[in-house]
Structure 1
Amino acid sequence: MTQDRQGARGDPEPRGSSRRELEPEIRRDLSGTLSYGDYLDLHRVLSAQHPQAVPPRHDEMLFIIQHQTSELWLKLMVHELRSAIGLVRADDIHPALKRLARVKHIQHTLTEQWSVLATLTPSEYAQFRSALASGSGFQSWQYRTVEFLLGNKDPQMLPVFEHDREVHEELRRTLEARSLYDEVLAWLARRGHPVPEEVLERDWSQPYTPHRQVVDALAGIYAEPTRHWAAYELCEALVDVEDNFQVWRFRHLRTVQRIIGGKPGTGGSSGVPFLRRALELTFFPELYDVRSRIQDVRPGGYHGAAP
């Protein structure tokens, strides 16, 4: 009878559950013990947009939210990369691969976000660009952390963040620690692959210098992937991450070029030329160099260089 009355009122009955079973959950939600908004701290998140243009400009909200959401995804990427680095250090490769798979999805999301910002026309951006003053994405410490974690080390970046002691110290620690690539090479060495000692023990704060013997070690892995499957899979996961990063950089360049053309960046960079130079940077150089060493398999077992 209860169900008949509910049906007469038009209330849907959840499939596989009775209303009586759901009532305790409903009461707990409505009691205010921990609401959805409280759990996500939405009052702070949704009140963190403060357009600066005078008079107000409609499109500034897009610009602010685009960059705030990017910073949230970067925060998650840092979280996942730090975990992956620790797992590789602990020789726990399968969950490390899971972390990197998530990083790749985050990268896809970040790349797709450029299409939203690209709806901002040059005329619309010009209406509020001066409100940014000297603010620039170049000053994103989370982006810089991602670069350091992946291995693009540059001590000259630290002075940019000297105004924030806590951020500066955290970046310094990340700069001076092994990157993901450093940990992968150390793991390969522990697995018996001939990674040279000068690569395994060096100044981690300095940019990585490609080494021919690392290419040799990787060539052995790629020559017999089924024999070295874990190493092979991890190497390819790194290539995926780098490829995604380069796609993100390219979309960044094209979006900036579309909106401001050849103007310099608000933070003092050269703008598009600066972003174009970034496309030449690589995190895992030998993983690309080794591709020219992989030989074709010919009928009859002959291995020869590709034509």
Structure 2
Amino acid sequence: MEAPLLRARSGLRAAASSSSWHSASTAPALVSLSPSPTPTTPSSPSRHAICRSSTATRPAASATARSFSALNRPPPKYPGHVPLTRIEQAGMALGSGIMSLLNPYRADLIATLGEATATPYFIYRLRDAMLAHPTGRRILRLRPRISSKTLSIPALRALPENSVGRAYVSWLDREGVSPDTRSPVRYIDDEECAYVMQRYRECHDFYHALTGLPTVREGEVALKAFEFANTLIPMTGLSMLAVATLKPAERRRFFSVYMPWAVKNGVRSKEIINVFWEEELERDVDDLRRELGIEQPPDLREIRKREREEKKRLKEMRANGF
């Protein structure tokens, strides 16, 4: 009588134990809070199902990482932005570099070269230089633009003769250029860095006015050497390769006069990207040069004029038998 009773009690205990373990293993809140691993049995499909699910999602994540291609571009980050793959960026840098070397007056190619070679380091260095300067930070916050719509050209012509604004507009008139010729930035991904490149591009004519260098090829190469020493933008350094296209006399003058001037002044002067030109228009231009640490180079336009007159005089002397 006692033996059947003991066997019945043992069966009840086993059933209760089995029911308790099953409840614990299927309660999600307890599993998520328990620090110990959840027991599994060979018949349980949960672990294999998790492994299959994890394996199945890997190709999708990989496809997402490789989704940026020439046929599948991400959306633009600002108006006019064109995202590029690394291969496209390298090809554009090479092509625009070769073509701009053959024709240094193609401003669109030079602009493309500047954008293609400014990342991933150099444009961020220039942006950080602005962030480290109080005026530079204010420029980044306000984001002014330089064009004939933001600057009154007639008002600039009415400024005192030695003012920054008068020097700027006099240079524009003498060279026959306009502040509206600068191409918009398209190929730099970071929106703030795109503005930094646009600001550098639109201030380029102020650098011409400050130094007095003309837009002839010799003057552009000299100014690019100065800009490279000051900004480290690769395009400005690569543009100096155009010195190979100069005439022998011009090349000798560049290496003996303008290259030393560019390195000396570009390195020692303050970061010219931090000049708020719109607020300096009425200031004496010589005073601004002293503050920035920039000395004017020899007047290249006057040198070239004297050379032309000398050649003309020698030609006339030969024609007269002297």
Taking structure 1 as the reference length, the TM-score comes to: 0.23
Larger Rg: 2
Taking structure 2 as the reference length, the TM-score comes to: 0.22
